[in-house]
Structure formats: structure tokens, C-alpha cells
Structure 1
Amino acid sequence: MTMKFEEKCGDNGSLVGRNQSYPGEKHQPKGKPVTNGEAEFYAKQEANGKCSVPRKRLNMYTWQEIQRHNQEADQWLVINRKVYNVSSWADRHPGGRRVLNHYAGEDATDVFRAMHPEPDIVQLYLKPLLIGELAPGEHSQERHKNAQSSFLQHDVGHLSIFKKSKWNHVMHKFVMCHLKGLSANWWNYRHFQHHVKPNIYPKDPDIDMGPLFLLGDSQPVKYGKKKIKYINYEKQHLYFYMVGLPLLMPVYFNLQSMQVMYLRRYWVDIAWVSSFYIRYFITFGPYYGIFGTVLLIYLVKFLESPWIAYVTQMSHIPMRMSTEENRDWLSTQVLATCNIEQSFFNDWFTGHLNFQIEHHLFPTMPRHNYHKVAPLVRSLCAKHGLQYVNKPMLRAFGDIVRALKKSAALWVDAYYET
């Protein structure tokens, strides 16, 4: 049932609410209000006097109603008990449309806090999208979620927040496009999805490696039952060394980045990436020629690729992969990630990404602060019965291959099942 909520200015100009409808107010299906002239006149009258802010009427919604709006063209989400309709704005979202779609019909409070270090600025964009709030009897999160696990953004927020400015945006373009030769927009939209829904199939693009690799427990069985055999997946743990490690950066990432830039017309990124290749040809062209310079570019990427593959995949591939289960923020991140033991070498080698759990819980936190919050995260996981996985680096390297081998065995059983 949809109830009415009115925001009314008190004597001090603050907004207060009361459960009451305007005189003459009518309702359309799905709880959307429509007012006649008498109601509008009444609203204007009550807005006079000491109140300088016009009153805004808000609907009140139940979770059952909100969860129906989880389609591509119909997206509602909840932040701090407020209900927002982001359907028409999704295409302009700086983090990409799909990130919003992944949380349509759900509570997005924790992910909002984690991904937006300056929520006051974002409120300017949220204000026009506000359509209502949760009814008083409704839980702040969906009933099956553990709301007590949401303390982290409050208690350690001072370690996470940093000032953002246009220079952050320019620096990101410089590093990703000019120094790495990859589209910054492509990386953002891909990586944001991975952070908000890690190891959730098909929402996390990082675990959709078909037809090259089958990951987790469900994808291999699905391919096997459908008799899909693009390659011999039984050997995928072996060709990970021959294909996955050396070709992730120079082939897979580069081709995907170029494809996305072209199809989505990212002209600014195209210009920045062009400066990457121009710089190389100006610097090394006179010595190695065109062909030699191209080889040099891809040699550097070829050498970088195993490091990227190991550092990113050792904390994800061996962990739980599933379809959407709509878990709370803490559980979603901890079940999908693991840490590598802290040491001077491990911190240096991974750039502090050995604290992958903390990196996922606090994506805007400077990496050198991860070790400070790790004990708090570990204790919270113990309190809520979540396994906080922390392993040696060499074992983590081996777990990648062991996980691929396990998935391959599942595919074999399903494929040859009579």
C-alpha cells in the first residue's frame, strides 16, 4: 500500500512530515498522486507565512512496491530510506547506467556511501529524482539483509574521504589514457560494476571470461549441459599460463578498450589514447621504426600482463561466485574477496592491493590506510560469522589454478553426462 507523506515547513523553516493528504487530492494507480486546482491552492496557502521553502509531497512506499521497479527502463532505488526514480537519469550517471541497474529495486545506501566520498555534492543530483520514502513500518534495508553490518562507512569514514576536484579527473585520464593507452571511461564503467557486485554473474564483467575460461561452479555446469565446447575447458588451468597471463593486457584489455571507445564515441578518450601512441612513436620511432615501436609497446604490455593478472585474480577467482543473492554490503564484498598476508614485499608488490577486502569495502580509501582498518573489518566479520580469508601470496597464486581446475572438472562432468 502506498501512503502519502507531506513535507511541511515549520516555524523555523525546517522540513517536518505528517501523514495526511491534501484536500481534493486524487490518486492514480500505483499510488501516484494527482492534484486538482483546489489541492494546489491549499498547498500554496500553507506555504505562506514564515515558511520560505515550498512544501513537497512525498509518497511512502513498501519494499514490495519498490522491488517491482528493477527493469532496464524502470529503476527505483533506496538511499537512507529515501526512494529515488533514476530511470531517466541513468544514462547520465558518471559511473555508468549498469551500476544503477544492478541496484534497481534494492537498498543502495552502503554502496552509495562507499562510492561517493562527498555525498553532499551528489545530493544536488539526487534531489530532483526523489519521489518518496520508505513507509514507517518498513526496515531500512530489505528484511533478509543484515543492517547491523553497515557501521563501517560511519566509523572509519575519516580514513576514506579525500577531496575530489577536476584535477582528479584529468589525472585519471592522464594515467589511464596517456600512460597506459587504455580508455578511462571503459575502465571506470567496467571496474565500478566489479566493485558494486563482485563475483556476481552476470553483473560483474570481470568473471565473464567466456569463451576462454569458465569460472565458479554454475557457469561450467551451464556450458557443459548445453554441450558448449569452444575449446577444451578440461585444460583451462594449463592454458591460463599460456594465454591468460601473457595476453590479458596486450590483447584482451586493449582490444576491448578500443572497441568500447569506438562504439560509444568516447572522443576525449580517443584523443588521450592517441597521445599515448604519438608519444611512443616520437620517442622511439627514430631508433626502431614504426614496426619496432609497435613491438616495443606490446612488449611492455606483455611484461606487465602477468603482474596485473596475478595481483587482481588471486583475490577473486578462488572465492565464491554466484548469481544475484541481494546480500548486504559487507557480506557481498567479503565473500567475493580475500587478502594476502601483509609484509613489506607484499605491500610493495601489490601496491597495497593485498588488502583486497578493505579495498572493496572502502574503494575511495587511500591504499596506505588499509592496514589501519583491517582489524576492525576482521572483528566485524567474526561477529557476523563471515570468514575473513587471509593467505600467503604463493598459496594465492596456486589457488587461481586450483580454482580453474575445479571449474574444469565441473564442466567435464556436465558435458559428458548422458
Structure 2
Amino acid sequence: MAPQTGSTEKGTQPVSAFLQHFTWEEIRSHNGRGQSQEQWLVIDRKVYDVSKFSKHHPGGSRVISHYAGQDATDAFVAFHNDKTLVKKYLKSLLIGELAPDQPSFESNKKKSLLEDFRELRCTIEKMGLLRPNYVFFFLIFLHFVVLDAASWLTVWYFGISFVPFLAGMVFFTIAQIQMGWFQHDLGHCSVFRKPKWNRLLQIVVINVLKGLPASWWNHLHNQHHAKPNCFRKDPDLNMHPLLFSLGKPLSVEVSMGTPSLHPYDF
């Protein structure tokens, strides 16, 4: 373990004397696998023990566990709108911070790539591209409700002969596809400012209108965005029998778990 000292070197962030200091090697060893079942992660150079908290994590235990032994700063920023509220829960999980001689990012990550990503995100936020257009989303909601109703009314009024059935099927299919994308935006909390309103309308759309559980979709989709294209961590890639059928090169790459799938998967 690195020496516990409050001194800092030039170019590093100031650290508190009472917090324990850790190296990246120590943090990587607490990834929830092997002999140590503890799960540590880093957010803004602070080290947190989420071993017990992961089971109660609102976004799902696997999402936070996928970052065990790693830096989760960018994921934390992306997944949490109300960071002030979330940081209150983090206080009880804080166990230390990175030692002054440790970089703010892992050795397997490119500093220039991280800096470019954070600069791009900051630019997008300043441009207001993440602010929702309520008129647009209202019209999306209205048009798939109308199409869904039209599909059933067509069959009910004209009967189940070929033409009415075909027209009703077209209306119903378009409505279902649009519902899927709309609940996707709600699942990302991209429509309303308050997450609870997004969750409530998502339940109406996917549970009531589509007949699928929102909790199931969120559980899988949160993992996908936490570790996109990481084999064994991204559920979208865990359908490996289907991937193997797409060709030998992809099958070999996926089965071998090569780093090219995702630079942060280890």
C-alpha cells in the first residue's frame, strides 16, 4: 500500500491527510473475482467500497459491479443526473483515494482519448443538444397511440378479411416500433428532467402498451451502456450463438475475448 501522507507533488491534486492512499494495482485486485470478493471503484480519484452497496444499487448490481477494480468517473457522470443527491450516498462508501503519485486514469486507457471524450461531452452540453424537445416527444407519444388505436379499430370495424387485417397489422407494427424507441428514451431519463416522471411514463408505455417489464429492459440496457461491446459484460453480446452464426472471424474474436472488443474490459 502506498504511504499515507498528506503531501502532494507538483501537478497532482491535493489530497487529505486522513484518507488512506491506494495504488491502481491494489484497486484492480478488488474486482470481485478470485480470492477477494470485495469490489472497489474510483470516482474523481476517490476510492469507494461498493461490495455490499452493489446489491442495493438502483441501476442494478451488475452495472456497478462491472466497474469493480476500475475507474468509473465517466460512467458516474453519464448515469446520474442529480449528482449532489448521489454523492450523499457515496460518503458512507468512501475508503480512501489514489496516492499522489498515481495517475487519474488506468494504465490501459489512453489519456488523449479520455480528454477528447470529456471535451466532446462538455461541448454537447453547452450546445444544449441534451435538452429535450417536449413538443417533439408529445407528438411521438400522440402518433403511436393513434396508430395503436387505429389498428384495433380497423379490424373491429371492417372485420378480419385480408385488406383490413393487413392495414391493421401495418398500423400496429409501426406503433409498436415507435413505442420501443420512445420507452428507450424514457429509460435513459431523456424526456423529463425528473427521473421519476421518466420511469412512470416508461412503465405505461412498455408495461401496459407493449406488455414487457420495464425493470427487465432497464437491467439489461443499463449494462449495455455501462460496458458497450464488452463480451461477458454487455448483454447484447452475450447472445454468442447468434454472433457465431455471423461468421468465423467475429466468432473467433469474441470467443477469445480479444482486447479489440473494448479497451477497458479486463
Q: TM-score, normalised by structure 2?
A: 0.61
Q: Which entry has the higher C-alpha Rg, 1 or 2?
A: 1
Question: For the residues of structure 1 that align with 2:63 and 2:255, how far apart are their CA atoms?
Answer: 30
Q: Deviations over 1:76-112 (max 9, x none)?
A: 1111111111010001111111111211111111111
Question: Which fold has the larger relative contact order, with Cα–Cα distance below 8 Å and residues 6 or more apart in sequence?
Answer: 1
**Amino acid aligned to 1:208:** N
**C-alpha contact (below 8 Å) 1:199/1:321 kept by paired residues:** no
Report how far residue 141 of structure 1 moved.
0.5
* 1:3 aligned residue: 3
* 1:326 aligned residue: 264
Question: For the residues of structure 2 that align with 1:18 and 1:83, how far apart are their CA atoms?
Answer: 13
* 1:74 aligned residue: 38
Report how far residue 219 of structure 1 moved.
6.3
Report how far residue 64 of structure 1 moved.
0.7
**Amino acid aligned to 1:68:** S
Q: Deviations over 1:142-170 (max 9, x none)?
A: 12312323323333334336622422221
**Amino acid aligned to 2:92:** P
Change (3 A) 1:200 1:216: farther
Aligned residues: 187
Percent pairwise identity: 45
Report how far residue 3 of structure 1 moved.
3.1
Q: Which runs of 5+ in 2 are unaligned?
A: 7-13, 132-191
* 1:178 aligned residue: 208
Asked whether 1:90 is paired with 2:54, we answer yes
Report how far residue 324 of structure 1 moved.
5.2
Asked whether 1:117 is paired with 2:81, we answer yes
**C-alpha contact (below 8 Å) 1:201/1:208 kept by paired residues:** yes
Q: Which runs of 5+ in 1 are unaligned?
A: 7-15, 20-56, 226-319, 328-418
**C-alpha contact (below 8 Å) 1:114/1:153 kept by paired residues:** no
Change (3 A) 1:143 1:220: closer
Question: For the residues of structure 1 that align with 2:247 and 2:73, how far apart are their CA atoms?
Answer: 28
Change (3 A) 1:124 1:218: farther
Question: For the residues of structure 2 that align with 1:91 and 1:83, how far apart are their CA atoms?
Answer: 18
> Aligned-pair RMSD on alpha carbons?
3.0
Question: For the residues of structure 2 that align with 1:89 and 1:184, how far apart are their CA atoms?
Answer: 22
* 1:199 aligned residue: 229
Asked whether 1:221 is paired with 2:182, we answer no
* 1:130 aligned residue: 94
SS state of the match for residue 185, structure 1? Answer: helix
Question: For the residues of structure 1 that align with 2:248 and 2:21, how far apart are their CA atoms?
Answer: 41
**Amino acid aligned to 1:115:** F
**Amino acid aligned to 1:152:** L
Q: TM-score, normalised by structure 1?
A: 0.40
- Residue of 55, 69, 79 corresponding to 1:105: 69
